[in-house]
Amino acid sequence: MNFLTWSGILTALLAVFSASASALQLDVNSTQSLKDAATTTAVNLFCNSTISGAVNPVYGDDDQAFNASVLEAWLYSILIPFWNATGNDTYNDMIRTRLYSKIDTELSTSWVDDGNGDSNINHAAWALAAVTAAEFGFPGNTSTQWEVLAGNAAGTMQSLWAFAQTCSGGLIFSQQNTSFKDAFSNGEYFQLSSRLAYLTHGNDQGTYSTSAATVWDWSVTNQLVNETDWTMNFVTMNSTNGQNCTAGPNQMLWTYQYGLYMSGAAYMYEVTGIKEWKTRAEGLLNKSIELFFKKRVMVEGGWILGNSAEVGGYYIDDNTEYSFRGLFITCLVSVARLIPETVDTIVPLLETTAKAAAKQCSGTANSTVCGSDWTDPVYDLNPSFFTSMSALSLFTANLRLDRTAGNKTTTNGTSTSGSTSGSSSGSGSGSSSLSGGDIAGIVVGSVAGVALIAAAAFFIWRKMKKQPAQPVAEEQKPVTDNTTDSKGKFPSAELDQQAASVAELAPGGGAYNYPEMDGGPLPENVAQELPATRTIRYELDAS
């Protein structure tokens, strides 16, 4: 055997070893390295999806709350920043087409609970994708502003809220139990309102700010958020005879629920300048760090085991739940950008997590596929669309944070409110009875005494949702139950050549009907009165 052969073998062996150590070869100080990691992860993510007019990109479990549609919408809140941070517009046509396909449904002024399994979580997820597009100046039809579409959805949520029959408000989790209200539906609505407040001016800003404050206060009163120790509960229900609900059983501890409330509070701080919002954002940030980082690497929470004090740990029962960290990361980036004092806390954690994740993302023959547990430096054989989604968000987040500046600051990359300016024409934010005219200051304050009056709301009993399974005792670290969830249904990589192609959807496509709407007026958006007490006047940011 000659030297060339030996050297060839040696080179090959070295390549294998270095690849399996960290195939993504991530250098968090290198923009190009982060871009490469993000791009490779995007490729792998789309290997587990198909995009067409009829099929969602994610093979999710159709009768679960986090179904294919929800995941698709959540994905766009990650892919739009990916485009912005890398300049790679491969997926833009697809994103645009898919968002526009929801114009007559999720992003319309007349969204109804159509009895076909749609949910507030799904509805709000699409609205958040639209508001993300607005923030990043995502290219779309100039005639159809993303901000207006997101506002349409916010308007219908406000109507639903006003007509809630239990807990004095709140968005329900599913029709199975209409007093069962969760931190995702309500947190998404809270964050949506705060982001729309951030993007808008004048009366619209006042309306959205008031909505956000309403949801926050309600969430505290009904025990979703504890302002004393900054813990959260996932559900609240009317287990007493009082009008307020109390935290329900089967509690879950997800990163995303903290992220939604934390970042929404940060947006509200930026909008109002009220210190209390900063306290809230920081309270939830600190608690999140305590709960969701092990040795400075991010972990998901999970179902809290019934006797968690004894066995410790959490239980992850569905692979879709591995997408939550990616969403939580987008929230962390927002907080870092909106509250500069948090940058020195958040950025290093995202860096250590990215380094750790790059090691986990070393699966299959090409050593780039991401498993699920970022604390494990060895590929854990648990890849999925959802783990790729979170890793993609993680690498993108590191790109969006400037690591070169001495005093770490965040890069620009959210507000383009100028280009989607606060025109209220056609806006779902609706008219408000705040003082008319184009005022430079708006009134925000206690929501006490605010009357929310909706002209129409539609409550239709939905199909029964699958009741979450009772958690099973397990050990310290998150585990998956591969026997009962639907992951087995996920077709593997080779399934669709058209992964990145543009969806062909009939305009307004979708299996929605609005029988209640026939012959009747479209729902008016919500009017509201001025808060009666504790008002605070502030000047709008000139920029």
Under the rule (CB under 6 A), what is the footprint of ligand NAG? Answer: 27, 29, 39-40, 42-44, 47-48, 62-63, 67, 69, 84, 87-88, 90, 100, 103, 116-118, 122, 136-137, 141, 143-144, 165-166, 179, 221, 223, 226, 228-229, 238-244, 340-341, 364, 366, 368-369, 383-384, 388, 407, 409, 412-413, 416, 487, 490, 492-493
* Closer of 342 and 525 to ligand NAG (Cβ): 342
Residue closest to ligand NAG when measured from CB atoms? 117
Q: Is 495 exposed, middle or buried (0-12, 13-18, 19+ CB in 10 A)?
A: middle
* Closer of 67 and 432 to ligand NAG (Cβ): 67
C-alpha–C-alpha distance, residues 140 and 260, integer Å:
26
Instruction: Tell me the backbone φ, ψ of residue 252, rounded to 5 degrees.
Output: -125, 155
Residue identified by tokens 């708006």 is 442
CB of 43 to ligand NAG, least distance (A): 4
* Closer of 92 and 431 to ligand NAG (Cβ): 92
CB of 534 to ligand NAG, least distance (A): 15
* Closer of 7 and 243 to ligand NAG (Cβ): 243
CB of 485 to ligand NAG, least distance (A): 10
Contacting residues for 224 by C-beta, under 8 A, at least 6 apart: 181, 182, 183, 186, 187, 232, 233, 234, 235, 236, 247
* Closer of 295 and 537 to ligand NAG (Cβ): 295
Write out the H or E segment, with its range, that includes residue 22. none
C-alpha–C-alpha distance, residues 533 and 217, integer Å:
15
- Structure tokens given for 414: 């959210």
Instruction: Identify whether the C-beta of residue 477 lies closer than 8 Å to the C-beta of residue 316.
Output: no
Instruction: Identify whether the C-beta of residue 413 lies closer than 8 Å to the C-beta of residue 81.
Output: yes
* Closer of 37 and 268 to ligand NAG (Cβ): 37
Give the chain's end-to-end CA distance (angstroms, integer).
71
* Closer of 206 and 478 to ligand NAG (Cβ): 478
CB of 221 to ligand NAG, least distance (A): 4
CB of 397 to ligand NAG, least distance (A): 14
CB of 130 to ligand NAG, least distance (A): 12
* Closer of 357 and 434 to ligand NAG (Cβ): 357
CB of 1 to ligand NAG, least distance (A): 31
Instruction: Identify whether the C-beta of residue 251 lies closer than 8 Å to the C-beta of residue 307.
Output: no
Instruction: Identify whether the C-beta of residue 444 lies closer than 8 Å to the C-beta of residue 282.
Output: no
In angstroms, the Cα distances linking 248 to 49, 99, 179, 256 are 35, 34, 10, 18
Instruction: Tell me the backbone φ, ψ of residue 175, rounded to 5 degrees.
Output: -70, -10
441 SS3 class: strand
CB of 5 to ligand NAG, least distance (A): 28
C-alpha–C-alpha distance, residues 89 and 79, integer Å:
10
